[in-house]
Amino acid sequence: MTHPIELPIEAQIAITILRRNERMTGIDPELLLLQMLKKAGFHSDNIKQLENKGLTIHFKKLAQLIKNNSLYLQLFLYCININKSTFITNYTTQNNTIIKLSDNSICTELYNNKKYLTHNVIKRLCKKIPLYNLYKNT
């Protein structure tokens, strides 16, 4: 497992707003995160498609989900900023290497691989989160 990534202030504000919503409404970020990843195709029931078609299409789908939903953006940033990980499935590469896919490894790879979602796009999306401007000034 990796250590939390140093995130820009915009991402930190997004996570703060998620934590506030968690306290105020009782949402479960870990559960919602796993549901988001499942929507993108990252789940054990989908391992055959993951292995046959590769991870790229699922990373693209996850990036699109994040771009279109501010809660998903917050969950994504939350995931790469916590020192905790939930195992999803083992993935066998074309070279027969087994990779353990977890929520943290998937989100960290998406964040580090700017091919799908650049850091500038992430910052811009964070600024569109409801309550962002309120928290930016505190």
101 and 93 in contact (C-beta within 8 Å)? no
Domain ranges for the chain: 9-136
Contact by Cβ (8 Å): 83, 138: no
Closest residue by Cα to residue 75 from 138, 131, 21? 21
pLDDT at 82: 87
State residue 4's pLDDT score: 65
Widest pairwise Cα distance in the chain: 50
* Per-residue model confidence (pLDDT) at position 2: 52
DSSP 96: S
Rg of the chain over all Cα atoms, to the nearest angstrom = 15
Percent of the chain with pLDDT over 90: 79
| Share of residues in the chain with pLDDT > 70 (%) | 97
Confidence bin at 137 (pLDDT 50/70/90):
confident
